[in-house]
Amino acid sequence: MNDPTPSQTIDEETLALLRCPVTRSKLRMEEGFLVAEVGGLRYPVRNGIPVLLAEEARLPAGFTSLDAFRQQFGAR
């Protein structure tokens, strides 16, 4: 099993405070990424630090650009 290394995880207390900057939804840890509950943007965790920049996030399947994702899921 490929568990995330300690440098790729976030403690539960901190995780409960974090939100996706695009959808403002909660985030969950999944394979070394923080994944937005709404839309599924995947934000990297580098050296234990979440990189919550939309431009750094991996887009979910079916989206070719961040602008297209924002049109469908962006917080209003």
Establish if 11 belongs to a structural domain: yes
Establish if 10 belongs to a structural domain: yes
Q: Give the pLDDT confidence of 9-52 residue by residue, as tens digits.
A: 788 999 999 999 999 999 999 998 999 999 999 999 998 899 99
Establish if 1 belongs to a structural domain: no
For residues 15 and 35, what is the distance between their CA atoms, to the nearest angstrom?
A: 11
Which pLDDT does position 15 carry in this prediction? 92
Greatest mean pLDDT among 1-5, 6-10, 11-15, 52-56 lies in: 52-56
Domain tally for the chain?
1
**Assigned token pair, 30:** 């999944």
pLDDT, greater one: 62 or 7: 62
Establish if 12 belongs to a structural domain: yes
Establish if 31 belongs to a structural domain: yes
Which pLDDT does position 1 carry in this prediction? 44
For residues 60 and 76, what is the distance between their CA atoms, to the nearest angstrom?
A: 20
Q: Which domain holds residue 66?
A: 6-73
For residues 35 and 37, what is the distance between their CA atoms, to the nearest angstrom?
A: 6
**Is the per-residue pLDDT at 62 higher than 80?**
yes
Residue 64 sits at φ, ψ, to 5 deg, of: -105, -10
